[in-house]
Chains A and B, each alone.
Chain A
Amino acid sequence: MRHRQAIALLALVGFFVALYLWLHALGVGGPLKCGTGDCDTVQASRWAMFLGVPVALYGVVGYAAILAVALAGLRPAAIPRRGPTLILAALATGGLLFTAYLTYLELFVIHAICRWCVASAAIIAIIWIVAAAAAFADLRRPPPP
């Protein structure tokens, strides 16, 4: 149960990070608050869109899905079930792979780092570690009756 709670909290933070980037892509608000990073270069690059959709929207949808599954898995009836844990692990793996691709683009193609993207990458990485560990532990246990 603890791992689903942790994932829900992390997904909520990730959702807001992605939402901020998506709203910026839609033209809401002014320049990104980026500190020492180079968010403008990343957000203005052609890789800021994926299949015609702002990359941040994938983050919004992805984190919302993880949050929804984690909360659904916290219902008393769902707590002993393996399903939510395995779905969370699958979603987190998809998110981690997509983030790895984006981080590669930042480092080796765009040559600029967006602090908000790094924050999102860290969040999805932690979610993946927690989800993968929970799924591994679940699979080693005998299935619930």
Chain B
Amino acid sequence: MNRFHVVLGALAVALTITLFLLLREGNGASAAAAGPPPAVVDDGFRGHTLGSPNAPVEITEYSDFECPFCARFATIQMPTIKEQLIATGKVRWRYRDFPIPGHQYGRYAAHAAHCAGEQGKFWEMHDQLFYNHSWAQTGKDPARLFRDFAKAAGVDLERYDACMQSGRYASRIEFSRQEGLNVMVDGTPTFYVNGRKFTRPQANSDVFKAIADSIIARRK
């Protein structure tokens, strides 16, 4: 073996190691964002909201991005609710996280939404995650897909990557889940209308409209 072959072999080894590191470094859901936090702190945050702060009715939704019922609600009922109740100033909608323990990427999805939220794009990311819900059925690591969602939502990817890597919202998500347990959330989605648990099994836009209208009528 001459000197050239030694150089070529050494270069091949160095490039293989570099390639391995490049692929490993950028791969997959960061553990900080995907798992429960080491400590839970109340940072005063009580969910992303949609609608007028002066709306007479506030509906709080405890939801999990990996839950198929939540996705169905977000894609089928929510557009009508937005149009008839939120846009008209009757209802203010509050989204709280309640990641189900058995859902592998529920926390990670919630974290992605919060990272988009810090750039003012929470609801855009919320829609991306629910409207393209097939990720929840594959069981594959959705890190790259969520990044594509973030891009489609108009999020700055450099800041998104840093946020996801840091896992800075993991504590907030767990705090929301614990609050949900305290108010007896027993599944997702669970709704609270002006603080009262909504126990009807068929939560839909018509029912919410009827409730909101009756609350508003009683106030008049």
B residues neighboring A (CB under 8 Å): 4, 7-8, 11-12, 15-16, 18-19, 22-28, 143-144, 147-148, 151, 157, 161
Contacts and interface: CB of A to CB of B under 8 A. Distances in A.
Interface string A33-54: 1000000100010000000000
A32 B4 CA distance: 32
A12 B12 CA distance: 7
Given A16-B15, A16-B18, A20-B19, A27 B8 contact: no
A30 B8 contact: no
B22 A31 contact: no
Contact of B22 (A5, A8, A29): A29
Q: Which of A9, A31, A32 has the most CB of B within 10 A?
A: A31
A137 interface: no
A77 to B, nearest CB: 15
B144 A31 contact: yes
A19 interface: yes
A144 B100 CA distance: 76
B157 A9 contact: no
A74 B4 contact: yes
Interface residues of A, number: 19
B89 to A, nearest CB: 39
B143 A30 contact: yes
B8 A33 contact: no
A13 interface: yes
B27 A29 contact: yes
Contacts of A40: 151, 157
Contact of B27 (A8, A19, A30, A74): A30
A33 B11 contact: no
13 contacts: A9-B8, A12-B15, A13-B15, A20-B22, A23-B23, A29-B22, A30-B25, A31-B144, A31-B157, A31-B161, A33-B26, A40-B151, A40-B157
A79 to B, nearest CB: 12
Given A40-B151, A74-B4, A29 B11 contact: no
Given A16-B16, A30-B28, 10 more contacts: A5-B4, A9-B8, A12-B15, A20-B23, A23-B23, A30-B25, A30-B147, A31-B147, A32-B26, A44-B148
A19 B143 CA distance: 21
Contacts of A44: 148, 151
Contacts of B26: 29-33
A27 B28 CA distance: 11
A28 B148 CA distance: 15
Contacts of A74: 4
Nearest to A32: B26
A13 B22 CA distance: 15
Contacts of B22: 20, 29, 33
A40 B151 CA distance: 10
A27 B144 contact: yes
A81 to B, nearest CB: 18
A103 B11 CA distance: 27
